[in-house]
Structure 1
Amino acid sequence: MGARSIRSKLVSAVMTATLPALLLSIAIIIVYDLRSYHRSLLNDLATQAELVGHMSSAALTFDDPRLANENLALLRTRPEVRAAAIYDANGELFASYRASGEARAMPAALSGAPASDRQELVLHHRIVENGETLGTVYLRAENRLLGRTLDYLGIALSVTLLALGVAYLLMRRMGRVVTAPIVAITEIARDVVATRDYSRRAPRISDDEAGELVDSFNAMLTEIEGRTRELETSSSAIAREAAERTRAQQEIMRLNEQLEQRVDERTLQLALANAELANAIEEARSANQAKSAFLSSMSHELRTPLNAILGFAQILTSDTLPSTLEQKKEFANHILKSGRHLLTLINEILDLAKVESGTVTLSMEPVVLDEILLETRTMVAPIAAARGGRVLFPETPGAVVLADRTRLKQVLLNLLSNAVKYNREAGAVVVDCAQVGPSRLRLSVRDTGAGLDAQQVASLFQPFNRLGQEGGNQEGTGIGLVVTKRLMELMGGEIGVSSSPGVGSVFWIELASTAPLAAPTMTEPGAQAASSGADGASAPAGEGAGPAPRLLLYVEDNPANLRLVEEIVRFRRDLQLLSAPDGHLGLALARARQPALILLDLNLPGMGGLEVLRQLRADPATSGIPVIALTANAMPRDIERGMAAGFDRYLTKPIDIGQFTEAINSTLAPRRFAPAQKTDIDTDAEATAPAARKDA
């Protein structure tokens, strides 16, 4: 080998020294840039996958592939993304997207972890909403790392060759002058690599190739510095965007929770409001029905005694209906009896009104039970004796209860009078007293009457119930038990009843006692009231020759009302009255005697008037007989219901004699020339029919 010149040696030395430094610098820069680029690409894909997953969570929740496909189609703005897909929670393909020119199809199901290679990057990102995995986002992007690496290698090679060529030329020409900038560049490069301070620059010593090399090196540093800042800025922006998205997602979740909470609260409020409204409507409907039933019952109860009072008063003051002195006394007795009954009814209604309004004042004090029982026995025993019955009272030595003396006496009298009234003939009423607690005393009143069934007991303490025997053969208002119950509640006591049909009933009250009860014994009052008989005089038949009288059937359970109609009809020779005290007998007489006209009360024992009318209309033998309602049910809805049921006329009590006569005449007028009714009337049977009626 020949000798080499110093320039060649210098060039060789410079190039030998410069080349490794240049290659190392470029390699470090390229590796750093490629790693940053690869990390940025993966972060970008992860961000895209998270964004697509967030946007598609609603589509997965509501099974809307179209919305998911639209979300995936937004990736067309990212040309590096070649394909994308959304898989549901079971790993089945839900929606997919392929870039233009991409031929490979999406896998039908996810299988294992994502596998990337030199040409493609594959990323799986789970879609999680409220802690529940809804599906997975699949992204397949073009891996440009290899191309970028090749580009960098080409650039590095070009720069190296260029640098070496320039260095060679410079060192060939300038020798030491060239060495200085190379050394400077080498030092700067080493410092940059060591400190990663890309703001450093190599000094320009000359304007020749060495200076250009310095400029190139500085430009490269500038480019690296710019790209590093861009990467840092991009990373910061991505981090900020991710943070903002996280905050937005948290805000959305918070708003959703608030919205759900508000919806639940509003739903609960609406449900409560609807329930309150339904209860209010039901209470209003019940109150309205109760008011209507109360007014109807009160109207009937008031009109019943008024019918007798005004009816007999019309007869007494009428010149066309003469009556004897004995009849006038009888009519006056009926008026007096009905007036007393009306006064009792009004007093009980006033008592009920006072109790319900809370205006009743009580004087609570210790009351000796023996004294109260003695007073009530004196008042009730004659009434029971008149019916052939007896009342047994216990001895209650030392028993003292806490109550209002007057109201307690009223309660006991009401229970005892009911027991006597609804008892069977010659039955017994037993009063019992027992200690049911350390400071609690129970008084019970047992009768041997017909008893009550469960339905009657359930509706017992209601106004105008009359012990569950509406239309029965006992006179009463049905208010006493309601007042009794209210008074017992005001005195801090209780009232109850137990009854068995056919056996009898037991009404009991409980009060606080201030002294214990000794063993009671039963005593029967010796005084018996004299029994009284009931008159059963029949109305005289009309006299005189002429066509046979028309038969008029009156179904009525109130003797005073029947007596009034008998007196009105007594003066008409063209009519003959036949009566029945209940619906069953009325139906039998109507079928057997075929009357020309039927007068029908609605409140009858056993079978009501509307049921009697229905059976009359259903029987071909009686369907053509005209029927006139004669009742104390005078409410407009009662009249409408009666006319709808098929009555020919509807008359209300008290009876107006003129209107009553006109109704009979107008109803019988079309039948004036009809064949005569049966003439073989059993006068004795008609005379004895009123005797079967009950006392009202």
Structure 2
Amino acid sequence: MTSTRVELHMDFEASGTSPLPSGCLYTHPSTLVSTVMFRSFFAPLNRRIIFFITAMSAIAICIVVLVSASCIILTRDSRSTRPLEDCARSLAVSLPRPFTIETARSTIHNVGNAKPWPFVEYIAIARSDSTLLEASGSFTFNMDELLTKRKVKSASGIIVSQPIIEGGEIKAYILIGSNSQFFGKGITMYLLLSSIAGTGGILASFFIARKLYKKMLQPLYDLTAAAKEIGVSKDYTLRVPYASNDELGDLVSQFNAMLDQIEKRDKLLTSHKKMLEQAVKLRTAELAKKNSQLVLEVAERREAEMIRCEVERINQHDLKSLLNLVIGYPELLLSKGNLTAQQENYIKKIEMAGYRILDMINNNLDIFKMEQGIYKLRATSVELVHLLFEIQDDITSMLTRLDVTLRITFNNYPVSTSNTFFVAGEYRLLQTLFSNLIVNAVEASNPNDIVTVAIQTDDQTITVHNNTLVPEKIQEKFFNKYATYGKEDGTGLGTYSAKLIANAHKAHISMTSTKPSGTLITVEFSEQLSLADNSSLEPAVEQMFI
């Protein structure tokens, strides 16, 4: 594998070319520097780092300014009152003793003219009975409230009072007031200077962040360029030349270690790929040979199946020809007369057996047509109650031998010969359908079990129920061809033909089998004939009831 060697270590102060270690990425320094500086300035990660540092600095500065301003504003009154109280206290202490009104008035007058405190705009002295003795400046306030609370904030500003006590008695009060705007100007100036300083700090942090991110993110640029180059060239021999004890150094070393593992695995995969390609070629040749054999076997089996079906049809045709004698001679004997009742009964049974064999032959031909989808139903009015009675008579010996009881119900009541349930269909096919279902249910039952055949005229269904469970292996393929289990002589065609016959009659057949409730097969007819259609019964069908 060949590829261009490129060095990722980018020195923004270096120029020209230099020898590089094997396995490192290389590109022209001037092109690399301009490209990296351009991309680094507009890279989203760089913007995020600059924004993060600048935002953190701005937030810190704003928090400090807001906290300081809040403290100043919240303590503005106390800060404004304290200097006035100090001035009033010092002025009261400086008055000569013993206290006299004239001396106090002279002192207040002199201090008011001298104005030793720039923030003091009002100085006065008043008696304890609220009589003003001397004042310098003008101020609006409530004298009684001031003397009681010692400090009052009014529209003119803040004013405080300091008692002059001598001999345990209050001789007078020193009053000093100041305009609140004086202190407000200081707060405004503080906020203005803080805003200027904060803006300068934010700008400084922005430029510092721009300077630092280039140095901090250099290994990340190397990793990004290496990943892109490897993604394009698929050359896993490339490495990032960066060594440091910090987190980025660990990241680069782990990246190089990962490339080592990928390079080893790539070589192993290449060798395994060649081995697999060779194995696939051999396997493909074997499969092609087996496929050709299977094609020949399928063709041979298909030909054998066609021959078998043709032979069966020929045999069935020959059997139907022979059955003409079995069916014809009983009719001839019955027409001659001179027979006892027992002899007539025997001959009728022989005739009935012949018709049954003929029906079986015809059923096989019809099932074949149903499989091919070419069967046309010759529907007549079929009465299913008498049909089920006939099936019950036919399997009497089987019920006795297996010790199983067959119960037939009509709308949840025991059935009687007066009950009728007509459907549109072919008598012979419907007899085959229900005979297969009932015989399977009886054969699958245990001794002393009851097989129930329930007729429901409301929803046009006939259900066959027994207490045994269908094996789980064949539940999903219960109606499939050749699906059988546990029966030595079973062919798996009974339920399959029942499904075909039900579909031909546009009836829905289904099976559910659970341990608590046993097995239930439901045949639901989509169309039911009214009792007025009894006249449509064919004579051949009526003869079946004799």
More helix as a share of residues: 2
Structure 1 length normalisation: TM-score?
0.25
